[in-house]
């Protein structure tokens, strides 16, 4: 179906439009400048040929003659044909993944050059041109010099080898089945195309919770299949990574210990890793979840996380690989009665003291917030807190806590808030984006990673509109300055065409969706209130009296977690001066995070002028009503979208409206009973 093609639909363009913009004459011929060692040029040429044929109705001719006529000229900037077209400064500016895209009109020839220092840059440039054509942009005066903001632009799969996907809401794994590789390499290739088209360059194919079977992914018997997967991604410039089990030396190697300082353990990792590289010469490296939620790690041996990460870094270094070490480390067996332990503090408390102790090829992967991908969280204070350590921002595309792809929740605005947050680590302007890319403290490695929302569903993401989140992540990882609006507009045009009504309507729906979801779920930054384990649907006390560190402390007087330095857990003090002061006082703390940082009476008046309790009632009525509204809005597009996608979105929006009403009633009733304060507008609360 149409949904399978996602943002690479390449729908046929209107004939008059093609003529008017001269698309056909520019794109009738593709000249490839020959260059050695440039396998991705073949990919770029194939993508251009197929995309252009699909949009313009004629397959471009291929030619080696760049001397006359009208054509697209693709190749590396070092080749004879492209050499004279740029200067040294430009070549320097685009780095090893960027490109120039430029129209030239000369006496004998007019052409658009797509050039990069590497073939990979050329591939990204080709996808850029295809995007311009598909969204109907003029190309006559094309002049683009572009490069990605960061080195690592990565997707983490939480796929298990039995075929299940942890927190997956789009079917089963596209990689694995019944303990082995599924072997549907065409599907994997289609996926690699979708990734490369938005500039992603790294993928970890297995879950960070590495169970027994997945531990064997680095064992000799599974490496040939790993190599096969890597070769498919390689065609699109994507490096493959594996999540590994810290206890592998025991479970796989038969050693009695996995102690990172034990010479036998170091030797074992060095040998196993060398074998991985024999099969996959450009293997990316290891992704590790250690000492977290029952996973093994260096703590077992009285070592710290620098010891653990450096052990693997040492094994990978000779081969150019990196370790991506997760900071999602906390005590998941803490006592809810003990208000002094605070899960929000954990990552910073563990990792801040280790700043500077990690090897150069280690990157710490830090979730956007200190808790766990809630609908609203402050930014992790490790951004700006770590200054001598490579870091990568971890986001969650899969909608674990944001509606599980049954609810519409376009997450790009949420991510933008995190990325644009000012840590003040080096004074104003020290944004998370700069910390993550490495620019802020001049770190050699950095970037963006996100947990995939992809599965084997025909439309990839379960909810057809959830494709926008995957697309948006890739675009942001490439260029964090893009706005949520720009990305939404672009995605809708690529996915549904450029009918102004469709573009405006779906664009609006996307942009409204996160605020709507937030309104009917957990209020004012307090988080959780979901059913335990699967995390779908309302349950205000679902995580209140268990050991996970996830509390709201609601009683008959008030609600919220006191995380101030003065009277609370001290978490607010993990930030630099300006944000720390802002969060420390209830007066300056932004409303949307108020209950994350403060425990307050229901009668406390927000900046909005409403009391906390009235805010809870109002937003829950409003949110549920707006969820209804989404159904009506979508219905107006009937006839403008193919039936399959139309119906599939409609049925999900209807479910969402129903579940939003459930959220409204459960949350409002709970707080009405707890507080004993009625709704000021006399609305019925059950």
Closest distance of CB 552 from ligand BDP, Å: 18
Q: Binding mask 102-141 vs ligand BDP (x if CB under 6 A, - otherwise)? A: ----------------------------------------
Q: Binding mask 356-395 vs ligand BDP (x if CB under 6 A, - otherwise)? A: ----------------xx----------------------
Cα–Cα distance between 282 and 239 in angstroms, integer? 7
Residues 138-177 that bind ligand BDP (CB under 6 A): 166-167
Of 331 and 628, which CB lies nearer to ligand BDP in the complex structure?
331
Here the tokens at position 465 are: 């509109």
Residue 62 burial (CB count, 10 A):
13
The active-site residue, picked from 146, 359, 372, 377, is 372
Here the tokens at position 333 are: 């067996």
Instruction: Give the strand pairing for 99-105 and 109-116.
Output: antiparallel
Of 408 and 451, which CB lies nearer to ligand BDP in the complex structure?
451
Beta strands in 388-526 (DSSP E): 390-396, 446-451
Residues 276-295 that bind ligand BDP (CB under 6 A): 289
The active-site residue, picked from 146, 342, 400, 562, is 400
Closest distance of CB 167 from ligand BDP, Å: 5
The reply to whether 400 belongs to the active site is: yes
Closest distance of CB 583 from ligand BDP, Å: 23
Of 82 and 526, which CB lies nearer to ligand BDP in the complex structure?
526
- Which region, left, alpha or beta, applies to residue 522 given φ > 0 means left and ψ of -120 to 50 means alpha? beta
Residue nearest ligand BDP by beta-carbon distance: 372
Here the tokens at position 56 are: 């313009």
Q: Which residues pair with 29 in a beta bridge?
A: 61
Q: Are 455 and 404 in contact (CB under 8 A)?
A: no
328 binds ligand BDP, rule: CB under 6 A? yes
Size of the site for ligand BDP (CB under 6 A): 9
Of 153 and 367, which CB lies nearer to ligand BDP in the complex structure?
367
Closest distance of CB 166 from ligand BDP, Å: 5
**How far is residue 138 CA from its own chain's centroid?**
30
Q: Binding mask 584-613 vs ligand BDP (x if CB under 6 A, - otherwise)? A: ------------------------------
Of 119 and 400, which CB lies nearer to ligand BDP in the complex structure?
400
Instruction: Give the strand pairing for 152-156 and 69-76.
Output: unpaired
> Which residue in the set 146, 342, 400, 562 belongs to the binding site for ligand BDP (CB under 6 A)?
400
> Which residue in the set 41, 195, 208, 433 belongs to the binding site for ligand BDP (CB under 6 A)?
208
Closest distance of CB 476 from ligand BDP, Å: 20
543 binds ligand BDP, rule: CB under 6 A? no
Closest distance of CB 324 from ligand BDP, Å: 13
Q: Are 365 and 392 in contact (CB under 8 A)?
A: yes
Residue 576 burial (CB count, 10 A):
17
Here the tokens at position 304 are: 């710290």
The reply to whether 262 belongs to the active site is: no
The reply to whether 293 belongs to the active site is: yes
Look-up of token digits 């605005």: 413
Closest distance of CB 327 from ligand BDP, Å: 10
The full DSSP string for 341-400 is --GGGHHHHHHGGGTT-S-TTEEEEEESSSSSS-SS-PPPTTBTTBSSSEEEEEEE-S-T
Look-up of token digits 């002049």: 143
**How far is residue 106 CA from its own chain's centroid?**
43
CA end-to-end distance (rounded Å), the chain: 43
350 binds ligand BDP, rule: CB under 6 A? no
Cα–Cα distance between 177 and 162 in angstroms, integer? 5
Closest distance of CB 396 from ligand BDP, Å: 7
Of 167 and 652, which CB lies nearer to ligand BDP in the complex structure?
167
Of 38 and 450, which CB lies nearer to ligand BDP in the complex structure?
450
89-105 in b/e burial notation, b at 16+ Cβ within 10 A?
ebbeebeebbbbbbbee
Of 529 and 613, which CB lies nearer to ligand BDP in the complex structure?
529
Q: Are 671 and 664 in contact (CB under 8 A)?
A: no
Of 167 and 234, which CB lies nearer to ligand BDP in the complex structure?
167
Residues 304-323 that bind ligand BDP (CB under 6 A): none
Here the tokens at position 55 are: 């949009």
Cα–Cα distance between 456 and 191 in angstroms, integer? 10
| Residues 572/575/576/577 CA torsion (nearest 10 deg) | -10
- Between helix 263-279 and helix 305-316 the angle, nearest 10°, is 40
The active-site residue, picked from 14, 293, 541, 647, is 293
Q: Are 643 and 660 in contact (CB under 8 A)?
A: no
Here the tokens at position 646 are: 């139309």
> Which residue in the set 21, 25, 135, 209 belongs to the binding site for ligand BDP (CB under 6 A)?
209
Closest distance of CB 105 from ligand BDP, Å: 53
Of 166 and 355, which CB lies nearer to ligand BDP in the complex structure?
166
Of 400 and 518, which CB lies nearer to ligand BDP in the complex structure?
400
Q: Are 422 and 430 in contact (CB under 8 A)?
A: yes
Residues 47-86 that bind ligand BDP (CB under 6 A): none
Closest distance of CB 360 from ligand BDP, Å: 25
Enclosing H/E stretch for 152? strand 152-156
Length of the chain (residues): 686
Query: What are the distances in angstroms from CA 399 to CA 202, 410, 534, 544?
Result: 21, 10, 12, 22
Q: Which residues bind ligand BDP (CB under 6 A)?
A: 166-167, 208-209, 289, 328, 372-373, 400
Q: Which residues are catalytic?
A: 293, 372, 400
């Amino acid at each position: 179906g149409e949904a399978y093609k996602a943002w690479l639909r390449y729908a046929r363009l209107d004939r008059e439009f093609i003529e008017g913009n001269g698309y056909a004459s520019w794109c009738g011929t593709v000249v490839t400048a020959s260059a050695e060692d440039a396998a991705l040029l073949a990919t770029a040429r194939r993508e251009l040929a197929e995309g252009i044929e699909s949009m313009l109705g004629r397959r471009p001719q291929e030619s080696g003659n760049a001397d006359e006529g009208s054509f697209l000229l693709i190749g590396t900037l070092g080749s004879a044909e492209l050499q004279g077209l740029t200067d040294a400064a430009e070549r320097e500016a685009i780095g090893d993944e960027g490109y120039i895209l430029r129209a030239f009109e000369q006496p004998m020839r007019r052409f658009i050059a797509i050039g990069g220092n590497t073939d990979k840059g050329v591939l990204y440039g080709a996808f850029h041109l295809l995007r311009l054509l598909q969204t109907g942009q003029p190309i006559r005066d094309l002049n683009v010099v572009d490069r990605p903001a960061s080195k690592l632009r990565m997707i983490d799969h939480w796929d298990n080898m039995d075929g299940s996907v942890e927190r997956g809401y789009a079917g089963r794994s596209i990689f694995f089945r019944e303990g082995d590789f599924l072997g549907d390499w065409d599907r994997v290739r289609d996926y690699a195309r979708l990734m490369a088209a938005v500039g992603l360059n790294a993928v970890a194919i297995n879950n960070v919770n590495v169970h027994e079977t997945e531990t064997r992914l680095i064992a000799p018997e599974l490496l040939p299949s790993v190599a096969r997967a890597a070769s498919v991604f390689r065609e699109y410039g994507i490096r493959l990574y594996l999540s590994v089990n810290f206890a592998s030396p025991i479970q796989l190697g038969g050693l009695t210990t996995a102690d990172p300082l034990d010479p036998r353990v170091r030797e074992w990792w060095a040998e196993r890793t060398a074998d991985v590289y024999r099969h996959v010469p450009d293997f990316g490296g290891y992704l590790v979840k250690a000492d977290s939620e029952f996973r093994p790690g260096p703590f077992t041996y009285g070592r710290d996380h620098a010891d653990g990460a450096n052990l693997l870094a040492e094994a990978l270094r000779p081969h150019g690989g990196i370790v991506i070490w997760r900071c999602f480390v906390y005590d998941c067996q803490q006592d809810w009665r003990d208000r002094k332990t605070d899960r929000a503090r954990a990552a910073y408390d563990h990792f801040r003291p280790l700043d500077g102790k990690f090897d150069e090829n280690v990157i710490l992967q830090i979730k956007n917030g200190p808790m766990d991908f809630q609908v609203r969280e402050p930014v992790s204070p490790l951004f700006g807190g770590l200054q001598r350590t490579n870091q990568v921002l971890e986001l969650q595309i899969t909608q674990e806590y944001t509606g599980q792809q049954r609810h519409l929740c376009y997450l790009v605005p949420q991510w933008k808030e995190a990325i644009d947050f000012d840590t003040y680590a080096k004074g104003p302007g020290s944004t998370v984006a700069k910390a993550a890319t490495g620019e802020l403290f001049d770190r050699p490695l950095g970037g963006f990673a996100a947990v995939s929302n992809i599965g084997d569903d025909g439309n990839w993401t379960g909810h057809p509109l959830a494709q926008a989140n995957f697309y948006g992540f890739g675009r942001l990882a490439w260029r964090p300055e893009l706005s949520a609006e720009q990305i939404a507009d672009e995605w809708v045009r690529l996915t549904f065409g450029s009918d102004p009504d469709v573009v405006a309507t779906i664009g609006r729906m996307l942009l409204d969706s996160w605020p709507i979801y937030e309104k009917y779920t957990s209020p004012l930054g307090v988080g959780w209130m979901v059913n335990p384990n699967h995390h779908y649907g309302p349950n205000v006390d679902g995580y209140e009296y268990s050991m996970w560190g996830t509390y709201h402390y609601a009683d008959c007087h008030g609600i919220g977690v006191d995380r101030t330095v003065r009277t609370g857990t001290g978490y607010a003090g993990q930030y630099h001066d300006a944000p720390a002061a802002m969060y420390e006082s209830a007066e300056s703390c932004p409303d949307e995070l108020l209950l994350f940082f403060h425990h307050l009476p229901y009668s406390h008046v927000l900046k909005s002028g409403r009391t906390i309790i009235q805010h809870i009632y109002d937003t829950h009525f409003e949110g549920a009503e707006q969820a209804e509204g989404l159904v009506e809005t979508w219905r107006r597009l009937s006839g403008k979208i193919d039936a399959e996608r139309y119906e599939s979105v409609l049925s999900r929006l209807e479910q969402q409206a129903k579940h939003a009403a459930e959220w409204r009633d459960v949350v409002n009733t709970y707080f009405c009973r707890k507080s004993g304060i009625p709704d000021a507008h006399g609305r019925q609360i059950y």
